[in-house]
Amino acid sequence: MSGDATKSLTRVEKAVRSKMVSAWNNIKYGRTMFKIELKTSFSESTPVWILGKPYHRSKPRQEDESMPKSEIMAFESDFSSRIWFTYRSDLRKFSGTDLTTDCGWGCMIRTGQMMMAQGLVMHWLGREWRTNKQPADNPTPSPDRQTSVKDRIHRDILRLFSDVEISSPLSIHNLVRLGRNIGKGAGNWFGPASVAYLMQLAVANFQEYQSLVSNLAVYVAQDCTVYKEDIVSMCTVSRVPKETVIQDFAVLETPTHLDTMQYSFSEEVIVEGESWCFEEGGSLVPDPNWKPLVIFIPVRLGGERFNPLYSSCLRSLLTLPSSLGWIGGRPTHSLYFLGFQEDDLIHLDPHRLQPAVDTTGVNFPTHSYHSSAPRKISISKMDPSCCLGFYIRTRDEFECWCQGIEEFATPSPVEGRSQYPIFSVAQGRGDGVGGRGEEGEWSSLPEETETQEDIQSEDFVFL
């Protein structure tokens, strides 16, 4: 058989194999698996925590008080408002491949997108924001919602991660493209540290062009250490534009004479003849000389298995208002952890295949970006490799975080011996790996390990 014929046969074999894998993934991760939603049970005797907020099912009723709103309903509303990214089908082809889905290999990227999206929700909408759920069979918003600023920002955040818009900075296509710096591509598995660096790089590359990330800093810790001088240099700005434009509406700068820690962001603003109002949170910059900050901290909590010594630390970190949770999972299965009850972690799972959403329309459907089915996994089953996330809005909040965070990140003494913290905060600068160097150029990202053992423990390979 000639060489050309052999090459042609090889291409045919690859195409057939790709189609077979795609068909299997459609069955394995498709919607048929989720037609019957399994109800996760929660204890009524202990609180449920989600990203710094506690919910208690058996909250007592006071004699003179009307029946309080159900805590479990409040928890469900909170959980379903977190942005959920999953495997998608019918994507445009990834460069250099015939792949039109991330099914079976993109779970770590999807969980990284979820944690970054939560940072953007905190930044633009605030922790108390809740989505108005749209039923899948009627995704068109009601007329009053069509004029909601927060609803439009919600969609603008989703567009940053769009699977169909080429210009989306945090799309899986763009992150995979940036992954070439570490020898990764579509069909490969990414570790939590690599995904964190790719998020940092993607935000930095688009800050001049995308207003939703223009006043946001993303920092990735080095060797489990947060270097204060690096963050101060990254977050300190000489000026803030007087007006930040988000597509077809604007958000005005916070008046600098106000006490920014107490400012409610409820002031009415007139934009292009229309009245807009932020009821809480919002993108208004509380300190014109400081960029709000997302911190990613890649860590490894054990050798082959998760070290239970760190269980209480992880749970305590989830009680902090600044927490974005973490990405990791169990071996071969990446998850986004955002809450806990007792020894069980509450997570969002990206392993559901859904059709790609056309986000180019003004009121595109958002129901597939939110899940109403919380899942739990025992903390003992977690893989030791993960990446923690935090959102810090002001310089004062950052200083307070630095002063107190190691107490939360340090295990209790064992037999009178002090334990090392999960991560630490240090003065000075790091070595610049994965960040901007002295000349403003981006250095290369850290190489992923190549051994099968490392791949299984760090990159969560899906076989």
Catalytic (active-site) positions: 107, 349, 351
Contact indicator for 293, 391 with CB cutoff of 8 Å: yes
Contact indicator for 226, 434 with CB cutoff of 8 Å: no
User: Packing angle between helix 149-160 and helix 107-124, nearest 10 degrees?
Assistant: 150
Contact indicator for 322, 390 with CB cutoff of 8 Å: yes
Distance CA 352, CA 345 (A): 19
Residue carrying the six token digits 């009627």 = 138
Distance CA 335, CA 316 (A): 19
Contact indicator for 435, 424 with CB cutoff of 8 Å: no
- Paired with 277 in beta bridges are 268
Structure tokens given for 189: 């598995």
- Is the dihedral angle over the CA atoms 153, 155, 160, 165 positive or is it negative? negative
Structure tokens given for 82: 């977190």
Structure tokens given for 267: 């002031």
Distance CA 396, CA 290 (A): 10
Phi, psi of 279 (to 5 degrees): -85, -35
Structure tokens given for 279: 């009821």
